[in-house]
């Protein structure tokens, strides 16, 4: 079985993290051949992510238009075309292979031969059970290092951090609360990976921004530096890979309780720490005490490579 895995871009965001894992474990667990294709002209293509994919899968098949994509399907003798996408009818379907569409957002417009969403929450709440789901895999290496010395963070400081899409730390009152606490409490640090700088030129020794990465080991070192994740995506999550990655490394997740997309709530349940407004967030951050003895892992049990790839097989390959 030869499966061509497609995304519009090869970036450092969660969509391509998911794509990489599906393609990798399609070979390692299911014993199939994985081929990677993406749009050559997408501005979100990231050199580090491209290098990661090429190191694992060899040549990426780049295309400019649908005609070229169909040619790649033919030349690679692909049996299945797997496309992870927003979910709307974007015209990206191929001839000569089974079209399996994996919908990331709430633009539910079924097309292709198999159409599934990325979380149980989406399946039940957004589609009313009409669409099946295949969740993302959560799989990070074990690394003991941290960035505290490198970032000049005291060992006894409390550190809140996040990574995700560059523009998805987007709740204004959270940004203001971060700055307020950073001014008042010098032993509380905030570190942001792959996040737009929102300081408007003001300097804080205890707020730090670092570049995004496609290296899973570096992500784990970043997570290890933190005592908790500060999540502030206004719309919420239809799955929440970054949330899950912090959780499987036993870091509590502090997240906005009024987001309309709530897949991460379904997973975190009582292990999440929820804020409704700036005052509540302020109190949570000021009173937070790290507790390494508590089990904050809400994801490992359900999103292992073995469990997810069995569902991938049932829904996309055999469905």
Q: List, in sequence order, the alpha helices (H) in 29-171.
A: 47-57, 66-75, 120-121
**Is residue 167 assigned to a domain?**
yes
Report pLDDT for 147.
Answer: 98
Report pLDDT for 63.
Answer: 98
Q: What contacts 121, CB < 8 A, 6 or more positions away?
A: 238, 262, 263, 265, 266
Question: What domain range is 309 assigned to?
Answer: 2-137+304-317
**Is residue 147 assigned to a domain?**
no
Report pLDDT for 102.
Answer: 99
Are 281 and 308 members of one domain? no
**Is residue 150 assigned to a domain?**
no
CATH number for the domain that contains residue 267: 3.40.50.2000
Compute how many other C-beta atoms are within 10 angstroms of the C-beta atom of residue 150: 11
Are 97 and 162 members of one domain? no
Taking phi over 0 as left and psi of -120 to 50 as alpha, with beta for the rest, 261 belongs to beta
Are 76 and 186 members of one domain? no
What is the largest distance, in Å, between two alpha-carbon atoms of the chain?
Answer: 62
Report pLDDT for 35.
Answer: 99
CATH number for the domain that contains residue 14: 3.40.50.11380
Look up residue 275 and give its two tokens.
């804020």
d(CA 237, CA 294): 24
What pTM value is reported for the model? Answer: 0.94
**Is residue 293 assigned to a domain?**
no
Q: What contacts 216, CB < 8 A, 6 or more positions away?
A: 140, 141
Are 7 and 108 members of one domain? yes
Are 119 and 177 members of one domain? no
d(CA 5, CA 119): 19
Are 95 and 165 members of one domain? no
Using the structure block, give the residue that is written with the tokens 């089990």: 295
Report pLDDT for 65.
Answer: 96
Is-contact 238 103, C-beta < 8 A? Answer: no
DSSP characters for 231-268?
---TTEESS-HHHHHHHHTT--EEEETT-SEEHHHHHH
Low-confidence stretches of the chain (pLDDT beneath 50):
none
**Is residue 292 assigned to a domain?**
no
Are 308 and 260 members of one domain? no
Q: Which of 99, 100, 117 is nearest to 108 (CA)?
A: 117
Q: Which of 315, 309, 311 is nearest to 32 (CA)?
A: 309
Using the structure block, give the residue that is written with the tokens 């390959």: 317
Using the structure block, give the residue that is written with the tokens 């049990």: 301
Are 130 and 173 members of one domain? no
Phi, psi of 315 (to 5 degrees): -85, -50
Report pLDDT for 86.
Answer: 96
Look up residue 265 and give its two tokens.
């709530």
d(CA 6, CA 201): 39
Chain centre to alpha carbon of residue 307? 18
Phi, psi of 77 (to 5 degrees): 55, 45
Using the structure block, give the residue that is written with the tokens 């003991």: 144
Question: How many structural domains are present in the chain?
Answer: 2
Q: Residue 273 belongs to what H/E stretch?
A: strand 273-275
């Amino acid at each position: 079985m030869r499966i061509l895995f497609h995304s519009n871009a090869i970036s450092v965001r969660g969509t391509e993290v998911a794509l990489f894992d599906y393609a990798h474990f399609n070979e390692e667990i299911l014993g199939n051949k994985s081929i990677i294709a993406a749009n050559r002209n997408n501005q979100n293509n990231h050199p580090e992510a491209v290098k990661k994919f090429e190191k694992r899968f060899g040549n990426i098949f780049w295309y400019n238009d649908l005609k070229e994509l169909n040619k790649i399907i033919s030349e690679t003798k692909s049996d299945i075309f797997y496309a992870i996408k927003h979910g709307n009818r974007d015209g990206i379907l191929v001839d000569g292979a089974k079209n399996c569409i994996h919908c990331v957002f709430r633009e539910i417009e079924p097309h292709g031969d198999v159409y599934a969403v990325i979380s149980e929450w989406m399946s039940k709440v957004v589609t009313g059970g009409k669409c099946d789901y295949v969740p993302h895999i959560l799989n990070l290496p074990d690394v003991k290092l941290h960035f505290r010395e490198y970032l000049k963070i005291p060992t006894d400081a409390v550190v809140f951090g996040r990574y995700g899409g560059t523009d998805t730390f987007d709740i204004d009152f959270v940004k203001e609360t971060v700055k307020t606490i950073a001014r008042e409490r010098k032993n509380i640090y905030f570190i942001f990976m792959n996040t737009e700088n929102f300081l408007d030129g003001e300097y804080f020794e205890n707020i730090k921004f670092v570049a995004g990465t496609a290296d899973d080991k570096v992500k784990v070192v970043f997570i290890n530096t933190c005592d908790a994740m500060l999540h502030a995506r206004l719309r919420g999550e239809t799955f929440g890979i970054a949330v899950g990655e912090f959780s499987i490394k036993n870091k509590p997740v502090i997240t906005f309780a009024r987001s309309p997309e709530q897949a991460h709530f379904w997973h975190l349940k009582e292990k999440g720490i929820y804020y409704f407004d700036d005052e509540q967030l302020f109190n949570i951050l000021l009173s937070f005490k790290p507790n390494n003895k508590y089990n904050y892992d809400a994801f490992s049990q359900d999103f292992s490579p073995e469990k997810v790839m069995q569902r991938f097989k049932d829904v996309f390959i055999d469905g």
